[in-house]
Structure 1
Amino acid sequence: MDYYAIVHNDFDGTASAAIYARAVNSLPKKVFFTEPTKIHNLLKSLELRGVYKIMIADIGLNASTLDNVIENLKKLISQGAEIEWFDHHVWKEEWKRKLQESGVKVYHDLSTCGAGVVNKNLNPQDEFSRKLASADCSVDIWLHDDPMGEKLRRVVEYNKDYKWKEYLINKFYNGVLWDDEFEKILLDQIDKELKGYENLHKYIRVLNINGKNIVVAVRWRGPPDISYASQFLMNRYSAIVYASVNGKAISFRSNSIDVRRFAEKLGGGGHILAAGAGLKAPFWRFLLHRLGIRGPLLNWASEIVKKVVTETGLISYEGKKNVTM
């Protein structure tokens, strides 16, 4: 069966594509890796070229791009495309309704990760897919309940080239969850991470907002990645929120605060405890950062974080219970 896979450019997107491929017994004709803030542009430029089935997974909807997404989906469907969308991010019911009315088959489940949504709906009896989804969900939605998740996430993020993720989709499709190649990569990544932690203090600023510490960081090159660094820095500085900018986007992480509200304020979205938004820095600040002068970008990011947190408020998230702090 020929189909296109459009997935998020992370572990969850990679696992979602592999589990879907196992469910339909076929690798995709082509995999497109993208982000929620760019999905509308990808759909606009997508040419079917004789492929009339499209799966989209682990891509959330954002209010800022919703209309363009719907318009481009309708265009593809009018050309004969059959589209399935699997997601686990927080959506408004109106968004889901509009997507369904456009002709898209929607699988939406907040209780799991993107790969979990695909697994539960298409091939729940496949033990390999269940194990892969479990590992993925452990790190993607911050459950931290499956040790394989911490290992596989490092393997997936070892190489940022999309060809690497395509290679992994093929391996997962063929039932390889762990092997000697992955073990070697894991050991190499952990070694690099341990060295990287020593320099993180050079890239951060700790803000105190309403008596609560918040870590703001500008991105660095190499390990550790944002998820591991955020946990390390929040613990080290007794912070409840971590925010990271790279000049093009901002990411929020927390173990207890609803950070999706911050991302939504900036036109983005995501999970309750892990979210993000597009955020383009002034060119001169971005350029100085690339030249190794971090202060101007860090100052700019700190002011934005301070403003959005102050205006939005710190809302504690405890399961389904939200408490204003």
Structure 2
Amino acid sequence: MAETQVVIIAHNDLDGIAAASVIYRALKLRGAKIKLLYSQPHSIEKILLMASKPKLPSKIYIVDIAFNESAKEKLLNSLKELAKRNVKIVWIDHHPSTIRFARELKESGVEVHAASTLSVAPIVRKIFLEKTDDPEFYEKILMLGEAGDRARTLRQNKALSEIYESVSFALEEDPMDFELRQHLTRLWGEKKQLIDDLIALKAEKGRKRYDEIVSVAQDHVIADTSKLKILDMTGKTMKGFSGRLAVETVEKEGKVVAVMLRSGYDEMVVVLRVPKSLNINAGELARELGLKLNGSGGGHPKAAAVRLPISKKMDVVKLLLQKVG
């Protein structure tokens, strides 16, 4: 019997990689041959093309990736074409945009498992955990994923908390290091090993880089009110540390934090984080910024991001000051 050809396309953050590792293990035990790819919402269509080469797989899992509303028709058409060619597509996600477009996805031939959870881990836990050969180990992996999306605290588990810190710093050190992400997915999905020397080495490099970023962050504040702080980090190499910087600033100051970073020659990403104490929806704010300023954005009530032309920088500042105060 021929091996089942499967592609897993996971979000390139810790939650996505943890979920992909559990799915990887469950499918490997059933004899699947698996190709691992990683994506963000804005690049999913391009990654789908990569998934289809050199030959079509029998199944594609899209894991922890928000539906890209700004490319709605193009993306749905791509999915329909794959379905017509007998590729089964399974989309597993917890982002609001995927939930909103679940009906359109299903009509395009996609099997959708979407729920409004803080992390994709609960959905993966329900479907795949008992299909692994070591639910106790893979529960730890899912807990790491939940911690990565701030859906769980690991303070009561010192050993796992230390693993989380190392893995998250290693991944943030270079968000485009897809070889490292494959390495980690296989480390967990094949070897059942929480950490190794490569991850530890990358983590140490990441810690040093983050310390450098924190040391200059206050020099890049371009707006600061009682409810809002905006940091313009477009002139700095941020790697994958914008979310960490935003979260730590929120925890320290109790206000909405926006971190601007460059993404390519003429684009920027604005990372938004909102404290629990404020009744402001980060996801809706990011979506509105995208619609008004020729970009695309979204996320969750307390964590979101929007991709925009870098020329819109001061428009972002103006709109955020109007909306947040």
Q: 1:6 to 1:93 in 2, by over 3 A?
A: closer
Query: Residue 20 of structure 1 aligns with which residue?
Result: 23
Matched, 1:39 2:62: no
> Which of 250, 253, 258 does residue 273 from structure 2 map onto?
253
Query: Residue 165 of structure 1 aligns with which residue?
Result: 181
- Contact persistence 2:233–2:260 (CA under 8 A): yes
Query: Residue 202 of structure 1 aligns with which residue?
Result: 219
Q: 1:112 to 1:229 in 2, by over 3 A?
A: closer
Q: Distance in 2 between matches of 1:224 and 1:43?
A: 23
Q: Distance in 2 between matches of 1:170 and 1:92?
A: 27
Give the structure with the larger helix fraction: 2
Shift of 1:238: 5.1
- Contact persistence 2:9–2:38 (CA under 8 A): yes
Query: Residue 230 of structure 1 aligns with which residue?
Result: 246
Query: Residue 318 of structure 2 aligns with which residue?
Result: 306
> Which of 269, 287, 299 does residue 270 from structure 1 map onto?
299
Query: Residue 154 of structure 1 aligns with which residue?
Result: 169
Q: Map 1:79-98 onto structure 2 (within 5 A).
A: 79-91=85-97, 95-98=101-104
Counterpart of 1:117, as a letter, is I
- Contact persistence 2:250–2:273 (CA under 8 A): no
Q: 1:67 to 1:39 in 2, by over 3 A?
A: same
Where does the alignment leave 5 or more consecutive residues of structure 2 unmatched? Answer: 156-160, 291-295
Counterpart of 1:7, as a letter, is A
TM-score by length of 2: 0.79
Query: Residue 78 of structure 2 aligns with which residue?
Result: 72
> Which of 171, 181, 195 does residue 178 from structure 1 map onto?
195
- Contact persistence 2:59–2:88 (CA under 8 A): yes
Which deviates more, 36-45 or 104-113? 36-45
- Contact persistence 2:242–2:259 (CA under 8 A): no
Shift of 1:228: 2.3
Shift of 1:27: 7.2
Q: Distance in 2 between matches of 1:136 and 1:223?
A: 20
Query: Residue 293 of structure 2 aligns with which residue?
Result: none
- Contact persistence 1:196–1:223 (CA under 8 A): no
Secondary structure at the counterpart of residue 194 of structure 2 = coil
- Contact persistence 1:61–1:269 (CA under 8 A): no
Q: 1:254 to 1:270 in 2, by over 3 A?
A: same
Matched, 1:243 2:240: no
Counterpart of 2:171, as a letter, is V
Q: 1:262 to 1:28 in 2, by over 3 A?
A: farther
- Contact persistence 2:173–2:202 (CA under 8 A): yes
Please give the per-residue CA displacement for 1:267-287, whole angstroms capped at 9, x wherever unaligned: 3212222211221214xxxxx
After TM superposition, the runs of 4+ consecutive aligned structure 1 residues lying more than 6 A away are none
Q: What is the aligned length?
A: 294
- Contact persistence 1:158–1:185 (CA under 8 A): yes
Q: Distance in 2 between matches of 1:192 and 1:92?
A: 34
> Which of 4, 10, 33 does residue 7 from structure 1 map onto?
10
- Contact persistence 1:11–1:157 (CA under 8 A): no
- Contact persistence 2:24–2:34 (CA under 8 A): no
Q: 1:13 to 1:28 in 2, by over 3 A?
A: farther
Q: 1:99 to 1:141 in 2, by over 3 A?
A: farther
Q: Distance in 2 between matches of 1:186 and 1:46?
A: 29
Secondary structure at the counterpart of residue 56 of structure 1 = strand
Matched, 1:133 2:149: no
Query: Residue 294 of structure 1 aligns with which residue?
Result: none
Counterpart of 2:147, as a letter, is S
Shift of 1:116: 3.7
- The alignment-based identity, stated in percent, is 22
Secondary structure at the counterpart of residue 96 of structure 2 = coil
